[in-house]
Amino acid sequence: MKTKVSLLALASILGAQLCVADTNAPASDWKPCPSNQAGKQYPQYNSEGRVKFRIVAPEAKSVGCTFRESSEFTKGDDGAWYGHTRPLDEGFHYYSIKIDGAEVPDPNSRYYFGSSRWGSAVEIPAKDRDFYALKNVPHGHLREVNYFSKSSDKTRHIFVYTPPDYDKDTSKRYPVLYLQHGGGEDETGWAHQGYTGFIMDNLIAEGKSKPFIIVMENGGVGGPRPTNAAPAGAGGRGAFNFSAFEKVVIEDLIPHIDANFRTLADQPHRAMAGLSMGGMQTRSIAPAHLDKFSHIGVFSGGSIGVTNITDMARFKENVKLVFISYGSKELGPNTRGGDPKAVTTALKDAGVNAVFYESPNTAHEWLSWRRSLHEFAPLLFKD
């Protein structure tokens, strides 16, 4: 018994010393990231949220990655370079690998459109990832659709999610959510990194959301920043001008969707939402077309203040929901348009059905937006 205690005490002391000596050593419980190409063992993540890379670059002088405060990359016994990041938030992060000054995609990761380029991203599984997991439930279809837009004089590529029962009962018609990506992203954002299909499949299977169609356009109208963007405003941040995209949505997109899908083609059954730049587009377009939209969602894209609404009676009559969300880590005194929670509470006090959601422990990243969709969808089209 005495020996046992001594050993335990010794182990405890050693453990404490190791702890002090190895403060910066990463936990060794590395696992391959779900964002890897099939069969690739790297990148890996650990329980601290660090990501470790393995890059084969036999004659390189230096290898690194674009994550700030990463470890130095060093050559392992197998001749490949290894390095890891600081602890990152759970969720999804874009990055590149640096090889002797060249910024290139990691050959081990899958590729996504973000940061205005196709390139690498890494997924650190979130504790609540179950809500966007692929499950054996009825699945909707994610359709790639090309349609001709008169206002932009070109064929545009969009994604359309149709719910699981869409092809079963062809007499049924559905509400529509128009859902927009952020700056530097495109119509693939919600479809791929957003897991829109799996989030909706799971919500519908659990009976938590009505089934509806989701339309994902490219809000860039030619690029992540509209070519007709106004110069930087007095606020010191670039002002966005969404008039070209507004024409696409109102004159081309909605008519195409209503003509080619079994929609409930009226204002009570049409919603618009978006993240970041897509949230700003939603705040700009939906309130200007209250004859078209009844539900509004703004994720990490500012809020709608009482003073923004010129005709409150008309707004209240037409708008059934204003949903504002942010990641907790991006909220602060400088959040655009003031504290969005306070602004949303004031809107609620003015009689609007306004809901604020704060995503715990996330920043301006996809986990905030997946969660926002997951919270927003059940509130839509409740007749």
Q: Which residues bind a copy of itself (CB under 8 A)?
A: 37-39, 55-63, 96-97, 99-107, 110-111, 117-119, 134, 136, 139, 141-148, 155, 160, 167-168, 170, 197, 223, 260-262
Q: What is the closest distance, in whole angstroms, from the C-beta atom of residue 104 to a copy of itself in the complex?
A: 4
Nearer to a copy of itself by C-beta: 61 or 382?
61
Nearer to a copy of itself by C-beta: 197 or 340?
197
Nearer to a copy of itself by C-beta: 180 or 300?
180
CB count in 10 Å sphere of residue 348: 15
Q: What is the closest distance, in whole angstroms, from the C-beta atom of residue 145 to a copy of itself in the complex?
A: 6
Residue-wise DSSP of 270-283? EEEEEETHHHHHHH
| Both tokens assigned to 71 | 């470890």
Q: What is the closest distance, in whole angstroms, from the C-beta atom of residue 372 to a copy of itself in the complex?
A: 23
Q: What is the closest distance, in whole angstroms, from the C-beta atom of residue 132 to a copy of itself in the complex?
A: 13
CA distances to 209, 234, 341 from 333, rounded to whole Å, are 34, 19, 11
Q: What is the closest distance, in whole angstroms, from the C-beta atom of residue 197 to a copy of itself in the complex?
A: 8
Nearer to a copy of itself by C-beta: 40 or 247?
40
| Both tokens assigned to 285 | 């377009």
Q: What is the closest distance, in whole angstroms, from the C-beta atom of residue 40 to a copy of itself in the complex?
A: 9
Nearer to a copy of itself by C-beta: 219 or 327?
219
Q: Where are the alpha helices (DSSP H) in the chain?
A: 2-21, 188-191, 196-205, 243-247, 254-260, 277-285, 312-318, 340-349, 366-376
Q: What is the closest distance, in whole angstroms, from the C-beta atom of residue 191 to a copy of itself in the complex?
A: 8
State the residue for tokens 């018994």.
1
Question: Residues 173, 324, 197, 240: what is their CA dihedral angle, to the nearest 10 degrees?
Answer: 100
220-259 burial: b if 16+ Cβ within 10 Å, else e:
bbeebbbeeeeeeeeeeeeebbbebbbbbbeebbbebbee
Q: What is the CA radius of gyration of the chain?
A: 24
> Residue type at 256?
H
Nearer to a copy of itself by C-beta: 168 or 382?
168
Nearer to a copy of itself by C-beta: 143 or 289?
143
Q: Is the peptide bond before 43 cis (omega within 30 degrees of 0)?
A: yes
Instruction: For residue 121, give every residue at least 6 positions away whose Cβ sits within 8 Å of its Cβ, in sequence order, or none.
Output: 35, 92, 93, 94, 95, 109, 110, 111, 112, 114, 193
